[in-house]
Amino acid sequence: MPDFFMPQSDLDTNQHRDPDGDSLDWQREGLYLNAFGRALRRKFGGRVQRVSLDAGFTCPNVDGAVTTGGCNFCDNRSFSPSRRVRLERVSEQLRAGITRVTRRYDRVQGFIAYFQPATNTYAPVDQLREIYELALNADPRIVGLAIGTRPDCAPESVLELLEEIAKHHVVSLEFGMQSVHDESLRWMNRAHTHDDMINAIDRARGRGFECCGHVILGVPGEDHAMMMQTAHEVGILGFDAIKLHNLYSVHGTPLGEEVLAGKVKMMEREPYVQTVVDFLERIPPTTVVERVSGDAPPNYLIEPKWCLEKSAIRIEIDEEFQRRGTRQGSHFVAPEIAPEQRPRPVDSTPPAIQDQIDNRGRLPILKMQGGVVGGLHRD
């Protein structure tokens, strides 16, 4: 299986001149959006790349804690509950990833260890500490962690651990929000609701680490107004960063089968570009945009093929902003209650997940499955 969890490329972009009201760095630099790569460069004074790694986690949406089967778009065949990756393998993955990146780019200033496949907060908390610390100590150039998880898998114990790590490192907790519409979440077989997302971010905010939200555009049954409601929610909940993905289908998934059978259609390229621009116009200018499209290796991808042209899509998004004379945040309306003033609620993590994280003993990290980071997912 190819290693397709490649480090994310910068979202650097064309320049744009609009001197009115430029109070943020990216606006003064003449960008159309608050691009991730540039934000990292400003923070660290040079290029910082993510290196993906698989620490052998499974997912409560696969192992039966909330349901089985997983999300309809996710190739989770490798996420068996017995799947384990040796701890040493985590450092090996990081070292190999760093070598790959340094071959590809000159002058990389630092690296972020990116726990990507499966649900990367789903283990006893002492074990999470061990794995995260191991990654941070694998190479002196590692400046922080990015951790992909589900909205229903962030109990207090995990948030407290990340708060502690964030005192000395950059930490991004990436939530698979996907949509604010529960009917869409049901269609994806997410097995959580948007209320779970609200509960998680209202408890995670203000702890010194970044909260990033994944959003999927083009879910069947969602019209333009529904997608814009999700955009509006980004500002209400105060995500520090977002990743936008077009819905795409890959082999080995329920969605892939439906697409191959002609039952489900993926969004076309031009409406997607328009929708991304509409979306970004409605989110706060302070939100960092980490991604504007998603793709998969060509041999896995079924539809849409256009998402393989990432750089061209990125340029088309800029061109559309230029044509409209707008940029990220142009139509943002601040919520009545600022995110930082929202009260911190009681933890609503499902008991079955809480039990795995807080009460169960150490998982036996003994068995190593395969040698390659595997499993397509967008937690």
Whether residue 163 contacts residue 344, with contact meaning beta carbons closer than 8 Å, is answered with no
Nearest distance from C-beta of residue 339 to ligand SF4, angstroms: 24
Question: What spatial distance separates the first Cα and last Cα of the chain, rounded to whole Å?
Answer: 20
- 76 or 199, CB closer to ligand SF4? 76
Minimum Å distance from CB 148 to ligand SF4? 7
Report the residue number, 69 or 371, with the smaller CB distance to ligand SF4: 69
Give the residue with the Cβ less far from ligand SF4, 66 or 142: 66
User: Is 27 in contact with 286 (CB distance < 8 Å)?
Assistant: no
- What is the contact surface with ligand SF4 in residues (CB under 6 A)? 59, 61-62, 70-71, 74, 76, 118-119, 150, 176, 377-379
CA distances from 294 to 9, 180, 214 (A): 12, 19, 11
Q: Please give the full DSSP string across 199-210, using - where no structure is assigned.
A: HHHHHHTTSSSE
3-state secondary structure of 370: coil
Nearer to ligand SF4, 36 or 79 (CB): 79
For residue 117, the minimal CB distance to ligand SF4 (Å) is 7
Tell me the closest approach of the beta carbon of residue 124 to ligand SF4, in angstroms: 18
Nearer to ligand SF4, 16 or 251 (CB): 251
Q: Could you tell me the smallest distance in angstroms from the CB atom of residue 153 to ligand SF4?
A: 8
**How many CA atoms lie within 13 Å of 189's alpha carbon, on the beta-carbon side?**
18
Residues paired with 214 in a beta bridge: 243
The Cα-based distances of 200 to 93, 156, 193, 351 in angstroms read 30, 9, 11, 15
In the bound state with ligand SF4, the residue whose beta carbon lies nearer, of 116 and 328, is 116
Contact call for residues 76 and 59 (beta carbons, < 8 A): yes
d(C-alpha 5, C-alpha 112), whole Å = 13
DSSP 169-192: SEEEEEEEEE-S-HHHHHHTT---
**Smallest distance, Å, CB 230 to ligand SF4?**
17
